[in-house]
Chains A and B, each alone.
Chain A
Amino acid sequence: MNVGSGELLIVALSASDQDTHKEVMNYLVDSGLRSTLVTTEETCLTKIQDLSPDLIIYFLWNSTSLLDSSEFIQTIKTSAPDVAIIAIAQFSDTKLVQPALVKGADDYLISPIADYALLDHIVAKNLRLSKERSTRMIEGQKLAGLNQQLEESLRVLERDQRAGFEVQLAMLPKSPYKVGDVTFTHKIIPSVILSGDFIDYFKFADDRLLFYIADVSGHGASSAFVTVLLKNLSQRLSREYERLGLNCTAAILEWFNQELLSSELAQHVTMFMGIVDVDRGVLEYSNAAHFPGTIFSSKEKTEFLEIGGLPLGLYENPSYETNVLELPSQFTLVMFSDGIFDVMQQQTLKAKEDFLLGLVEDGTCTVGSLSDHLGLGVVKDAPDDIALFTIARAA
């Protein structure tokens, strides 16, 4: 019978039963296996190193302690964990088999070997076992290597993205930012590392304060690139406001829309934009599909400002409404991006909106307190970016 090919090590540490050792060895050599007989522990270990055997046949021997003859199996296992071990016990010593199996033998035979077909079968089976084990180990090592490479690439990518986020943070306006008694505060929690939510504000030459919150469709790097464009547009707006001749927030949104359209992006942008005019005591604002609605809160009332309006960067000629709101001496505007809904527990969108409004109505209207109440400090793996933005005027 063909038992397969391989390197065999026959370990016979006891001088007794030498006839069986030889008989088994001769039989296996005749079967075409390369076999080496070792009779001391030391040569056994050396040969394991030199030959890397595929199979070890280990003869157990009778002694005063049951464990004596199988103790060394453990040592073999340590130096060659893959190799299969067949223990052979004499017919009179079958009690030796169990400790040998416990110590790591894979199979056993009883000598004298009455049935060589059984020996063939067991040798062939254990040769396969050894080969499978070593293939598994090689593949395991290969996988571990790949895994390590992957982790390394991931670390590099992540480091790269973090560097990108640093750039993005640098594009965001200072927070908190105080102009007179008006304070702007914001916080952005990206779902990956880079964010598609964006916030900007600045002062015009005539002291009016322009602000917006924007949400680029999608999230991650591709959306983050669009925020760079938004920042660029706000800088142009700030520098060239007079020349551009945009006399209201609706006109500014239309201008943003044209600029985004001409960039032919795959994304669109929702944006809520307002201009705070402290001298005249008014807020002028327009919405381009930003949701949830901006919450306006004063001593008298707390309410959502209008939602709707078409998003930027999709339609050729959308028109937007400019709304004007009289500002009391004390007020707060609270804005979110829709990512906030994903981390809220309420069942319906309406309930979520009501909850946000209720929070602000009850006086939770700073970025810090809102973030605490909504558990944003502990948010991990949010499906969408989350932005929080408040503008407050103290009396």
Chain B
Amino acid sequence: MANGKLLVAEKDGVHVLKFVGDVRVTLGPTIDAFLTSLLETEDFKSVIIDLTETKGIDSTSLGFLAKISIGAQDSFGIVPTIVSTNDDITRILLSMGFDQVFLIIREPLESTVKMGEVPFKNMPEEDLRKKVLEAHQVLMQLNEDNQNTFRDLVVALQREQESSTVH
């Protein structure tokens, strides 16, 4: 990974993945292992991908996101949420057809009040509003104590992999 970080946190069964900076993932197998373990979590409720602090995202990371969506839909019938406020990133998501497989929220966190106005298709408005609100609440709670809640996914995975190769 160049100058990016991939962070993870969990709150009441809602798993949050936060991509920070210019994210270029090279850890194919470890990422897959994470995905498997994520989808095997017992109290799995939903996944929120926070791209609000993402500066760049490479194709491998996008493929990883796509696999999260496929896994969440296949295993739990859940459409994961992406929060993306950077227009460049949003455009890349749209170029990948992610509007078909994710709920994409483009509003920054502060504007929770206007949530009802977020335009969206293919989902009853009430459900949508609930989902968006939930995403924002989880993210805001996590943001308050960012440092403590999030852990560096890549570092954590590397450590796990190292210890498993030792045994």
Please list the residues of chain A having a beta carbon within 8 angstroms of any beta carbon in chain B.
215, 217-218, 266-268, 270, 289-292, 307-311, 314-315, 318, 338, 348-350, 383-384
Query: Of B24, B58, B67, which contacts A314 at CB under 8 A?
Result: B67
Cross-chain contact B87 with A310 (CB below 8 angstroms):
no
Instruction: Given A307-B95, A311-B96, verify A349-B88 contact (CB < 8 Å).
Output: yes
Instruction: Given A218-B59, A310-B97, verify A349-B92 contact (CB < 8 Å).
Output: yes
Cα separation A267 to B28 with both chains bound (whole Å): 9
Instruction: Given A350-B87, A350-B91, verify A315-B70 contact (CB < 8 Å).
Output: yes
B66 at the interface (CB under 8 A from A): yes
Cross-chain contact A314 with B28 (CB below 8 angstroms):
no
Cα separation A291 to B66 with both chains bound (whole Å): 16
Residues from chain B with Cβ under 8 Å of A291 in the complex: 92, 95-96
Instruction: Given A215-B59, A267-B63, A268-B63, verify A310-B91 contact (CB < 8 Å).
Output: no
15 A-B residue pairs with Cβ-Cβ distance under 8 Å, sorted by A, are A266-B28, A267-B63, A268-B63, A270-B59, A289-B95, A309-B97, A310-B100, A311-B63, A311-B66, A314-B67, A315-B66, A318-B97, A348-B87, A348-B88, A350-B87
Cross-chain contact A314 with B66 (CB below 8 angstroms):
yes
Cross-chain contact A310 with B70 (CB below 8 angstroms):
no
Q: Is the interface of B mostly helix, strand, loop or mixed?
A: helix
Cα separation A352 to B47 with both chains bound (whole Å): 32
Cα separation A307 to B93 with both chains bound (whole Å): 11
A-facing residues in B37-83 (Cβ within 8 Å): 58-60, 62-63, 66-67, 70
Cross-chain contact B97 with A289 (CB below 8 angstroms):
yes
Cα separation A318 to B66 with both chains bound (whole Å): 13
Q: How far is the CB of A22 from chain B (nearest CB, A)?
A: 62
Residues from chain A with Cβ under 8 Å of B62 in the complex: 217, 311
Residues from chain A with Cβ under 8 Å of B95 in the complex: 289-292, 307-308
The 5 closest A-B pairs by CB, nearest first: A291-B95, A217-B59, A349-B88, A310-B97, A307-B95
Cα separation A338 to B62 with both chains bound (whole Å): 13
Q: How far is the CB of A100 from chain B (nearest CB, A)?
A: 54
B157 at the interface (CB under 8 A from A): no
Cα separation A5 to B97 with both chains bound (whole Å): 75
Cα separation A181 to B30 with both chains bound (whole Å): 51
Residues from chain B with Cβ under 8 Å of A350 in the complex: 87-88, 91
Residues from chain B with Cβ under 8 Å of A307 in the complex: 94-95
Q: Which of A292, A315, A383, A384 has the most CB of B within 10 A?
A: A315
Q: How far is the CB of A232 from chain B (nearest CB, A)?
A: 21
Q: How far is the CB of A341 from chain B (nearest CB, A)?
A: 9
B101 at the interface (CB under 8 A from A): yes
Residues from chain B with Cβ under 8 Å of A266 in the complex: 28, 32, 63
Cross-chain contact A310 with B96 (CB below 8 angstroms):
yes
Since A308-B96, A310-B101 are in contact, a sample of 5 more A-B pairs with Cβ atoms closer than 8 Å, ordered by chain A residue number, is A218-B60, A310-B97, A310-B100, A348-B88, A383-B2
Residues from chain B with Cβ under 8 Å of A292 in the complex: 95
Query: Of A218, A289, A311, A349, which contacts B91 at CB under 8 A?
Result: A349
Closest to B2 in A: A383
Q: How far is the CB of B62 from chain A (nearest CB, A)?
A: 7
Q: Which of B2, B59, B94, B99 has the most CB of A within 10 A?
A: B59
Residues from chain A with Cβ under 8 Å of B58 in the complex: 218, 384
Cα separation A350 to B89 with both chains bound (whole Å): 11
Residues from chain A with Cβ under 8 Å of B67 in the complex: 314
Cross-chain contact A217 with B94 (CB below 8 angstroms):
no
Cross-chain contact A308 with B87 (CB below 8 angstroms):
no
Closest to A320 in B: B97
Cross-chain contact A217 with B63 (CB below 8 angstroms):
yes
Closest to B96 in A: A289
Cross-chain contact A349 with B87 (CB below 8 angstroms):
yes
Q: How far is the CB of A371 from chain B (nearest CB, A)?
A: 23
Cα separation A215 to B94 with both chains bound (whole Å): 16
Q: Which of A215, A217, A310, A348 has the most CB of B within 10 A?
A: A217
Query: Of A217, A267, A311, A348, which contacts B97 at CB under 8 A?
Result: A311
Cα separation A291 to B91 with both chains bound (whole Å): 10
Closest to A353 in B: B91
Residues from chain B with Cβ under 8 Å of A311 in the complex: 62-63, 66, 96-97
Q: Which of B62, B96, B100 has the most CB of A within 10 A?
A: B96
Residues from chain B with Cβ under 8 Å of A315 in the complex: 66, 70, 101
Residues from chain B with Cβ under 8 Å of A349 in the complex: 87-88, 91-92
Cα separation A270 to B88 with both chains bound (whole Å): 18
Residues from chain B with Cβ under 8 Å of A383 in the complex: 2, 24
Cα separation A268 to B101 with both chains bound (whole Å): 16
Q: How far is the CB of B21 from chain A (nearest CB, A)?
A: 14
Residues from chain B with Cβ under 8 Å of A218 in the complex: 58-60
Closest to A222 in B: B28
Cα separation A76 to B130 with both chains bound (whole Å): 85
Cross-chain contact A308 with B97 (CB below 8 angstroms):
yes
Q: Which of B2, B32, B66, B101 has the most CB of A within 10 A?
A: B66
